[in-house]
A and B are shown apart, each in its own frame.
Chain A
């Protein structure tokens, strides 16, 4: 495979993986909406026609798949479940042993209640994990937290089994 071809495949794979993108769009004439004529059509991208399927993000996992990287929480709780303390302690050990490692703790809540308050609940869970990591030897500079509240559910649905999967902290190594 030529280098150019490899580069193209990497770019295409990044695209298929759904790279993060954001943009703002000017309102062309907010005080003078064109009556009855507004709105273009969404173009569909033609990148899927090249012979491979869509991809997904691959996280770096310094434990080589040995450690769970999602910690679940009970309803209305930011307390670690007893069975998860060992998992978090072993993540702390990885971080303490390799100061170059960086981790992002992503807190989440189930969909019930107010969205911004749920951001707070997700953050509270991420902070529980952060404190445990710090107590057990990780350093503050290795850890960042973000809370997505109910905005990025792991499971769709409005029942307790979906809620239980959504009340979580995802431990993401960002190196």
Chain B
């Protein structure tokens, strides 16, 4: 904290607890779901039960993807924990395509190995098997998500994103004002943790490529500043606090730079590249229109941004090293907040669809334009690191809630959370390996 606050304020800070906003997931739309069985894992250790229902976490992950229907435990004709006991005909009868069995084995005071095997029921064959060693009680949930990722990828050909995180902003009434919080949670809503709170607005969180830091905009002191905060330590550095607007940060693919919007005293918003260490600034646009919401292409060559230089907002791109801006979107009168898919093939944006603000995706190769969401006020699209799914904010009554949708628009889910107004979700990159 940079300012010295009056004693009374410090007291108030001490009394503010750390409340978490848990997200509950409701599947709202989907496609035909493939039957799979995740058999409860065996446990060998000091005292039953196992510290975590690993099979339960895997089954919940697969169910939540919208692509699988895990067999309820009560319908299982057998519950093997070793391959020798697996009777494929028992699973054929149920119409199950694939079976997962596994074990949690305690190897130390707070050390376990978590092992699973995935079998194809029709081919009567193992598809994948893996053992996570030296898993602690604290990391077991991540191990379960990792297992679900491997199973999901084997069965669909799409990389799983169960072991990833989502950051988002909440706003809730506090006294006569509003308390804004920046939350980081597992992508299933578990382990929600508040990393920053303020009575002034917090905006525009952005992940670093190693998912260890978040950049965001804070209005503390009635001015906008950009901060970069390290999650593990809570340390944050103010990287931009110039006169006028400091906004819309997004990390470069190498994590060393931020693209930011600076407005200056004259309020001419332009795209700038800020070197985080040296604080050197490179101005990329000079147009007198609003140029904002910069976002790097995954190969680092271009910066996509919103500009209303043609009248209404549209998406443009400019070489990251500087050069001429090129218009990318021509569909309708309002396209803003560009975000590239991590594979570089798709561009997500907020699109005005006959008076409704909705999430749309433009296929950059085929030029297909697809409106993915159905709300009136949808915003802040963010791709999952597998480029297959997006998360965005929509409205349910007065509150903002989060939804995910696959990039083909076929599977949509709503994530609800208590009373807080939830906005600006950003999906993390792939997490580093368990360590």
Contacts and interface: CB of A to CB of B under 8 A. Distances in A.
Contact of B218 (A22, A35, A116, A156): A22
Nearest to B261: A116
A39 B176 contact: no
A28 to B, nearest CB: 8
Interface in A20-50: 20-27, 29-35, 38-45, 47
A119 B245 contact: yes
B17 A40 contact: yes
Contacts of B350: 113-114
A18 B174 contact: yes
Contacts of A138: none
A8 to B, nearest CB: 9
B276 interface: no
B221 A20 contact: yes
A165 interface: no
B234 interface: yes
B352 interface: yes
Which range contains the number of A residues in contact with the other chain? 35 or more
Interface string A125-151: 011001000000000100011111101
Interface string A93-122: 000000000001010000111111101110
B199 A21 contact: yes
Given A22-B218, A114-B350, A115-B424, A39 B19 contact: yes
Residue of A29, A41, A115 ringed by the most chain B CB atoms within 10 A? A115
Given A113-B357, A115-B424, A127 B266 contact: yes
Contacts of A89: none
B19 A24 contact: no
A158 B376 contact: yes
Contacts of B204: 115-116
Contact of B379 (A29, A35, A113): A113
B20 to A, nearest CB: 4
A18 B175 contact: yes
A70 interface: no
A123 B267 CA distance: 6
5 contacts: A25-B197, A26-B234, A27-B232, A115-B203, A144-B223
Q: What are the 4 tightest A-B residue pairs by CB atom distance, in nearest-first order?
A: A26-B234, A32-B138, A22-B198, A120-B290
Given A41-B19, A113-B350, A119-B224, 20 more contacts: A11-B6, A18-B174, A20-B199, A21-B12, A24-B1, A24-B227, A24-B236, A30-B231, A39-B19, A39-B193, A56-B176, A106-B222, A114-B313, A117-B292, A123-B267, A127-B266, A145-B265, A149-B203, A152-B178, A158-B395
Interface of B: 1, 5-9, 11-13, 15-20, 51-52, 136-142, 174-178, 184, 186, 190-201, 203-204, 218-224, 227, 229, 231-236, 243-245, 247-248, 261, 263, 265-267, 269, 290, 292-293, 306, 308, 313, 334, 336-337, 350, 352, 357, 376-377, 379-380, 395, 398, 423-424, 434-435
